[in-house]
Structure 1
Amino acid sequence: MPTLFALVAILLWSTLALLGSQLTHLPPFLVLGIALGVSGLVSFFWPKAWQIPWKTLAVGVGGIFGYHFLYFRAFALAPAVEANLINYLWPLLIVLLSPLVLPGMRLHWRHAWGALFGLTGAALIITGGQWSLQARYLPGYLLAGAAALTWALYSLLSRRLSPFPTAAVTAFCAAGSLLALAFHLASGGSLTALATLPFHDWLLLLLVGTGPMGAAFFFWDAALKKGDPRTIGALAYLTPLLSTLNLALWAGQRLTWVHGAALVLIVTGAVVGSWPARPSLSREPAARQPSTPP
């Protein structure tokens, strides 16, 4: 069941690029504020959502808002291809940091190899096999890396914290929405454009807020609380692959051999990373059979 929850979250996240590509004419933090506001609105009708410790709320808001804040700032300071590639270190970081954050977790070779296969496949999809890092974009690269680390830590700490209901995710979204709108206004934006937004834009914002920036967070929270983060981290590399397939199906993006190679790598990584461990053989000697009398 946790794997299924993770796959549902991944499927929802794979629609974000398609939906977001039609909202690029709007300021990113305005989109983020409205989308998180849609998903966070439920918290005001769900009292249990706010009945959580301050530490839990801080981790939740820091994860959801903090990740997107760093993500958008990275894209403003560095080329999209390289920033997105560095951002997709977060599934690998989930795998590598699991033993450090979660007591009792051990890193096995299959988890590390699965994440590395997935990262290689994601790199092919994002870059098309061509990319270069330039020193002048270092601040953007660092912010993209910080975004990846933020989401990885949020995903792991949500399991390390005292148990809290998944309903609390709506409170994380509500608080994140207010912070996103505050940053939009503080950076010179306004809310007057909302009055003139066409119905099509509002529909897209509603879809983003209920899907990739809404329900996906709930499924991800449930998956990480009950599942193996090392396996889920390897599966997460399906996100850029499915996102590209969505763009190919609905937005006319052309698929190439690079995407085919990435498909093989990501699927291989998902299989290797989720491969069940062989049961350990007992070292105790087998019980002797009673000797039969002559």
Structure 2
Amino acid sequence: MLGVSVAGFPRARIEPPTLIGISAVLMWSATIGLYRNISETFGAVGGSALIFTFSGIVATLYGGRAAFRGHSRLYLLVGGAMFVTYEIALALAVGLAQDRTQTVEVGMINYLWPCFTIALAVMVGQARADLLLVPGVMLSLAGVLLASSGSGFSLHSMLDNVAGNPLPYFLALVAAITWPLYTIFTRRLSGGKSAVPPFLLMTAALLWVYYFASNQPPLHFDLRGLTMTLLFGVLTTLAYSAWTHGVSHGNLTLMATASYFTPLLSVMLSSILLNMMPGMNFWGGALLVTGGSLVCWFASRQ
């Protein structure tokens, strides 16, 4: 157990299960950078198909047969559709970005999901919030605007930036909306069981069908690319397992708070993985998205 003390504040203790859960946030923050590196090696569709094939195999080996049993048909259909939509939308958004800078921009749009999740939970009656929820959502949207606007903070500059390649931005927005839907509406349908392994394999199967049915560049052997793909599969399984362990045995409030820093962590890790340095506007946008998510959490924390 770790202790942190600050003058005037009581000593805060973070139990090991909570630290394990928070480690999932770090692993998920590396997603955008790894997605892009793999897509640059194998193509947007082929790379995504390989990613989910490896992830599905690793998750299946870890979860065993139990991961495929005892699920309700409604959860498999509804939850599976939302999960697959989210994963494919995000993977293709990153893979179809024109360059690495645009990759991090579409990743930022995806990270609107924390504040969208809280807003949706309030709308469907699963949570309560005060009026701070509105400025929280607006702050996160302003962060995306700033991060995607290039050199100036304006809607016009963002639209000009998006107009040249609108599909990745649209897919990232679909992802940002779909994950909250999956989170909220499958919570009761799942019965406390996770069907992540079959969902990952389902995602891979659909991507392979699209790959062979469309005109995609041929795959080639690349040891570095395959190593990153295997690493991605292992990280995916570890992240889901760590988060589940933390939720079951740790401090959920601390874990939820840590998850709202994913945009900033993602920018930092993407800068390393993609060997690039985003401009000041982008860092400011990441701060606004993170701040907006925290305001949304504060509005609903009761």
1:135-157: CA deviations, max 9, x gaps? 78666655443332212201212
Residue pair 1:155, 1:221 contacting (<8 A) in 2 also: no
**So what's the TM-score if we normalise by structure 1?**
0.71
**C-alpha displacement at 1:112, in angstroms?**
4.5
Match of 2:224 in 1: 200
- Which of 60, 84, 89 aligns to 1:43? It is 60
The equivalent residue for 1:106 is: 128
| 1:1-294 to 2 correspondences below 5 Å | 7-23=22-38, 24-41=40-57, 42-43=59-60, 46-51=64-69, 52-71=71-90, 80=102, 83-84=106-107, 86-101=109-124, 103-128=125-150, 130=152, 131-133=157-159, 142-166=170-194, 168-189=195-216, 193=219, 196-211=220-235, 213-218=236-241, 232=256, 236-249=259-272, 251-254=274-277, 256-258=279-281, 261-262=284-285, 264-266=287-289, 268-269=291-292, 271-275=294-298
| RMSD, aligned CA | 4.0
Aligned residues: 271
CA distance in 2, matches of 1:22, 1:5: 27
- How far has the Cα of 1:49 moved from its partner? 0.9
Rate the CA distance shift 1:147–1:254 in 2: closer, same or farther, 3 A.
Answer: closer
Matches of 1:256 and 1:188, distance apart in 2: 36
Cα deviation per residue 1:166-217 (whole Å; 9 max; x = unaligned)? 3x21121122111121211111348x63xx4222111100111222x44334
**Cα distance between partner residues in 1 of 2:80 and 2:301:** 39
Contact 1:68 1:147 in 2 (8 A): yes
Contact 2:48 2:91 in 1 (8 A): no
Contact persistence 2:86–2:175 (CA under 8 A): yes
Structure 1: gaps spanning 5 or more residues: 280-294
1:35 maps to a residue whose letter is I
Classify the secondary structure of the residue corresponding to 1:156: helix
Distance 1:219 1:109, change over 3 A: farther
Using the alignment, how far apart are the partners of 1:74 and 1:115 within structure 2?
Answer: 22
> How many angstroms apart in 2 are the aligned matches of 1:169 and 1:261?
34
Structure 1 or 2, whichever has the larger Rg, is 1
Contact 2:115/2:293, CA 8 A, preserved across alignment: no
Question: What is the rounded CA distance, in whole Å, between the counterparts of 2:20 and 2:297 in structure 1?
Answer: 14
Q: What is the one-letter code of the residue matched to 1:210? A: V
- Where does structure 2 lack aligned partners over 5 or more consecutive residues? 1-14
Deviation at 1:158, TM superposition (A): 2.5
- Residue identity (%): 25
SS in 2 for 1:160: coil
**2:301, 2:34 → 1: CA distance?**
42
How far 1:62 moved relative to its partner?
1.8
Instruction: Name the CA distance, whole Å, in 2 between partners of 1:92 and 1:271.
Output: 8
Per-residue CA distance 1:82-135 (angstroms, 9 max, x = gap): 75554443333212111233x442123445444443443454345455442267
* 3-state SS in 2 of match to 1:25: helix
Note the C-alpha offset of 1:66.
Answer: 0.8
Distance in 1 of aligned mates of 2:167 and 2:272: 35
Counterpart contact for 2:122–2:128, Cα < 8 Å: yes
Does the aligned pair in 1 maintain the 2:147–2:283 contact within 8 Å?
A: no
What is the TM-score of this pair, normalised by structure 2?
A: 0.69
Separation in 1, partners of 2:298, 2:165: 38
